[in-house]
Chain A
Amino acid sequence: MNANPSVGLFVTCLVDLYRPNVGFASIALLEQAGCTVVVPETQTCCGQPAYNSGDSSSTRKLAQATIMAFESFDYVVAPSASCAGMLKHHYAELFEDDASWFERASTFADRVFELTSFLVDVMQVNLSSKPFDSSVTYHDSCSGLREMGIKTQPRSLLTSVDGVTLNEMEDTEVCCGFGGTFCVKFPDISERMVTDKAALAKQSGAAVLTGGDLGCLMNISGRIDRLDIPMRVYHVAEILAGMTNVSAIGAEQSAEQGSPQSPGVNAASIESKKL
């Protein structure tokens, strides 16, 4: 296996819009693992919103654009099991009537990975992370668990970080109620599900909630904040890359927040102070 593979980072629209820090953390981690990371400029969205709403033709267009932007890399990595799952498991079936695109999408699919499982299963990285002195509970996204086989990998990475204690939630395999457009189409049912999940997170006794999917994390943190539950929420990439000196998801904007001051500075916090 190539020790210095080229990786196209599929940054995901939520990270792009909401939390660039996760993108920079992903790059830092991939580079630490020895990858050369490129971020194709033409990427936009994996197409899941259209796909899950039954709009196959729009999805196909986005899929083709994504494949074309990324197929030249050894690997395609996303800091999201849900987006990675879309690229890996659903692109090919969009082209059942088009043999050449089906082939292209299938080849492409083999190279797609979610970030933490890529680091552990493919790169077998030994991370050297800055300490993160906190009890942490990990939220498993449904796509992570069921589409991408992600359960042990993020946990093994987290427990390798000095200072982290892992407090498991109960009922980790129960959905948090995000479900993409579901949470706004069926807000009452979503509210019930996310309330249950917030309670489980609180019951874990952890000070920090983390996970690999920003959609789930925004959903749960949104409910946690509405219920005044004092937990901080970070994407797992941020913890692993030692980039938690930005405000937690949904927290007041303050560069000086949270556990230990990281000795170095990182690109995202420089940029956010400038702007």
Chain B
Amino acid sequence: MATILRRKKWGIIIVFLSPAAILYGVLKLYPYVRGLETSLYRWSGLTTTRTFIGLGNFSRLFNDREVFTYLGHNGFMFLAATVTMILGLIIAAILARSRVKGKNFFRVVFFFPNVMSVSLVAALWSLILSPNFGLLNAFLRSIGLDSLAMTWLGPVWALRSVGAIYVWAGFGWFMLLYIAGIQNIPRTLYEAAEIDGASSVYVFFRITVPLIWELVRTTFVFNVMGALNQFALVYVIFEQTPNPNTDMIANYFYWQAFTNYNFGYAASIVTFTFLITLVVTILTWRITKSQTVSY
């Protein structure tokens, strides 16, 4: 960074940084730190007294069957997120390189679900998947596939439906990022492959994917975070009521905090989730490491 002539710089530095620093410190840093601290207390939000119980919340957490059931649901969402990623990758590969017409149209259409609020996506699909009046079953029945018209939000299918909705709403984002990445690959590589008679599948796996691998790794890490942060989709679809078939760890946190007012325990759930996120993120980053391809 160039050192340039500045008059009395500290005045403007303080003035310009203060608003951001104050808002950020009070409304983000302080709550995060307090959030971690709260997990060490037993505290019913209805009173102002709280008792320090050290790691008591955590031992309760490890024996709580529900915690692991719900984390399992998050795990399923991680799979769904991975599918989303792969779908985005395939579409990006097609849109960035194929000779289909109307690439812009597809790109614009595919990214739109990402821009809708979770709440709207949840409400829309709640109506589409309605067993008797929804679009999906009406369609299946109209083409004679009555036997495939399930209760999509019932105990058996609920989690898978939520996963599918996640894919629908999420693939556009990955698609956009990967298109940008693929467009950065020099054309010459592809032309050389064509002259050698490579099929598009071969080109995809041997040229496209390795060359955007760093980008794919980064988005994979985002997957982890996205999967562990799931809350609103399930909350809204299942009408703001606990649903043991689909609740995520964050939903459990919410019920503990704002329905049961077990603030201390709820905070420990979040702290635990945060730690898991850190560990899994670091692990996935390590596992996906591959030698940088240079060309």
Q: Do A and B come from one complex?
A: no
Contact surface of B with A, Cβ cutoff 8 Å: none
Contact surface of A with B, Cβ cutoff 8 Å: none
